[in-house]
Amino acid sequence: MKSENVEILIVGAGPAGSVAAALLRQQGRRVLVIEREQFPRFSIGESLLPQSMAYLEQAGMLQAVVEAGFQFKNGAAFMRDGCYTDFDFRDKHTPGWGTTYQVQRADFDHVLAKEAERFGAEIRYRHEVLDIALGAAAEGGARVTVKAPDGAVYQVDAGFILDASGFGRILPRLLKLETPSNFPVRGAIFTHVEDGIRDKGFDRNKIRVTVHPRHCNVWFWTIPFAGGRCSQGVVAETDFLDQYQGTPTERLQAIIAEEPSLRELLSNAQWDTPARQIVGYSANVARLWGEGYALLGNAGEFLDPVFSSGVTIAFKSASLAVAALERQLNGETVDWQADYGVPLRRGVDTFRAFVESWYAGGFQKIIFHQDKQPDVRRMISAILAGYAWDQTNPLVKETPRRLAALEALCTPA
């Protein structure tokens, strides 16, 4: 069997993998990326958060993203029972980027992958990782078995592995690191449409999240793209989704018909792309790192799409992991739990508390309350913009307690 050596192997060329590859190449490291799909390929998770822009800037990819012509985004809007509220991410507690983009991920991910290649990373598309044996390489690294597009199988001895395989979750599956998520099993039905939106009050610069009129734990996303298209989806527990019959497109249309404002907003839409469904996407792992490897982005943990945190967490994980890995490769002793696991989970846990509060209805009471204090609005805006690691924000430092206090204040006597 053919064998080769590489300093760092990255599994997956999505946002986490591409940013990690670019950062490592800037440090002069030899990087090989194994990607199962052929880019461009469809992916969900199209509404970026402004915090992401700092990591794109760090990776040297910002200009390519800016020049790609994606839909500008400056905030998030929420609709429930005819009540509308929105947040402008430029008005937030935390300094930093306040704008970003809404992207068709097939194009966005391809832009990032091409940038990683521009920096000198090798990406092998349609190559599939079959097995990873940690500690099996000659110098204690990992021996990775890979299948090429022509069916040929070969081995790669890697000094370190970054698993950015997303929902493929290669290392968690092979090493049995997966643990149950504490979230109920939810599903999403989604598609892209020619939206035909004529409502002059509709702000295409913001994602719109619409709550189902009878179920606070059922919600819709509407993500406008450049060129008059949008991503449209619904998220609910699987028991709710299973009530609807027909194709995924028919089921999505039937659920949308129950929400008056969204039904009207999309009344001229052309449903030209068959809808898809994913179920049970929330995932967790026992640990985010181990001897010779680290898990990036969705390969480690995926919470929920409601606050569009996935790509931001992916970028944050890549930045933290590469910084720790560079120190290790330079001969320093690295405490991966202190330098990677703990700081990454700190922000993830902030998002988690907001997700839990959203589905329980508490955070909805807060954001739809008519008398929001300006400083509280800015704290919320910062977290919705992705700044979930900013310890100067009281809603980050003591998230559950502060959210509970705000909910109590916003609950009618």
- Could you report the per-residue pLDDT of 283-293, keeping only the tens digit for each? 788 899 999 99
DSSP line for 210-222:
EE-SS-TT-EEEE
392, 393, 394, 400 alpha-carbon torsion, rounded to 10°:
-120
Last residue of a domain, one of 235, 260, 279: 279
- pLDDT-above-90 percentage for the chain: 87
Contact yes or no for 149/143 (Cβ under 8 A): no
Q: Does 273 map to a domain? A: yes
Q: Are residues 328 and 386 in the same domain?
A: no
* For range 244-250, the mean pLDDT: 97
* Domain range for 393: 363-410
Structure tokens at 7: 């300093």
Q: Please state, in angstroms and rounded to a whole number, the distance separating the CA atoms of residues 218 and 226.
A: 27
Instruction: Tell me which residue of 133, 137, 158, 153 sits closest to 1, measured CA to CA.
Output: 153
pLDDT in tens, 39-61: 999 999 999 999 999 999 999 99
- Specify the pLDDT at position 346: 95
226 and 370 share one domain: no
pLDDT-based confidence at 300, cuts 50/70/90? confident
Q: What is the pLDDT of residue 413?
A: 67
Count of the separate structural domains present in the chain = 3
299, 320, 346: which is the final residue of a domain? 346
Statement to judge: residues 293 and 335 lie in one domain: yes
157 lies in some domain? yes
Instruction: Identify whether 85 is part of a domain.
Output: no
- The pLDDT tens digits of the residues spanning 332-343 come to 999 999 999 999
| Domain annotation covers residue 135 | yes
- Residue 272: pLDDT band with limits 50, 70, 90: very high
Question: Above pLDDT 70, what percent of the chain?
Answer: 99
85 Cβ contact partners less than 8 Å away, ≥ 6 residues apart: 77, 78, 367, 368
pLDDT for residue 378 is more than 70: yes
11 shares a domain with 107: yes
Residue 93 in domain = no
401 and 286 fall within a common domain: no
117 and 219 in a single domain? The answer is no
Q: How far is CA 312 from the centre of its chain?
A: 6
* CA–CA distances in Å: residue 90 to residues 48, 383, 393: 14, 12, 16
Determine, yes or no, domain membership for 87: no
Same domain? For 59 and 123 the reply is: yes
Residues 59 and 142 in one domain: yes
If DSSP codes are grouped into helix, strand and coil, which group holds residue 377? helix
One domain, residues 268 and 286: no
CA–centroid distance for 43 within its chain? 11
Backbone phi, psi, residue 187, to 5°: -135, 165
Could you give the CA distance from residue 242 to residue 236 in angstroms, rounded to a whole number?
10
In the predicted model, is pLDDT for residue 70 greater than 90?
yes
Per this entry, what is the length of the chain?
413
Model confidence at 330, pLDDT cuts 50, 70, 90, reads very high
CATH code of the domain in which 200 resides: 3.30.9.100
Write out the two tokens for 57: 């800037």
pLDDT in tens, 113-164: 999 999 999 999 999 999 999 987 767 789 999 999 999 999 999 999 999 9
Which among 174, 39, 211, 190 has a CA at the least distance from the CA of 111? 39
Question: 344 falls in which pLDDT band (50, 70, 90)?
Answer: very high
Q: Are residues 16 and 153 in the same domain?
A: yes
The CATH number for 322's domain is 3.50.50.60
The answer to the question of residue 82 being in a domain is no
Cα 201 to Cα 197, 198, 296, 401: the distances in Å are: 10, 9, 39, 36
Final residue belonging to a domain, choices 316, 346, 376: 346
Do 198 and 340 share a domain, yes or no?
Answer: no
225 in any annotated domain? yes
> Which residues 6+ apart lie within 8 Å of 83 measured at CB?
368
Q: What is the pLDDT of residue 184?
A: 87
Q: How many CA atoms lie within 13 A of 6 on its CB side?
A: 26
Distance CA 322, CA 300 (A): 15
Per-residue model confidence as pLDDT tens digits over 383-410: 999 999 999 999 999 999 999 999 999 9
pLDDT at 30: 96
Among 299, 324, 303, 302, residue whose Cα is nearest residue 17: 299
Q: How many CB atoms lie within 10 A of CB 215?
A: 12
Structure tokens, 175: 């090493």
Q: Specify whether 47 is located in the same domain as 175.
A: yes
**pLDDT, tens digit (0-9, with 9 covering 90-100), for 8-26:** 999 999 999 999 999 999 9
Q: Quick one: the chain helix, strand, coil %, rounded to 5? A: 35, 25, 40
Neighbours of 401 (CB within 10 A): 12
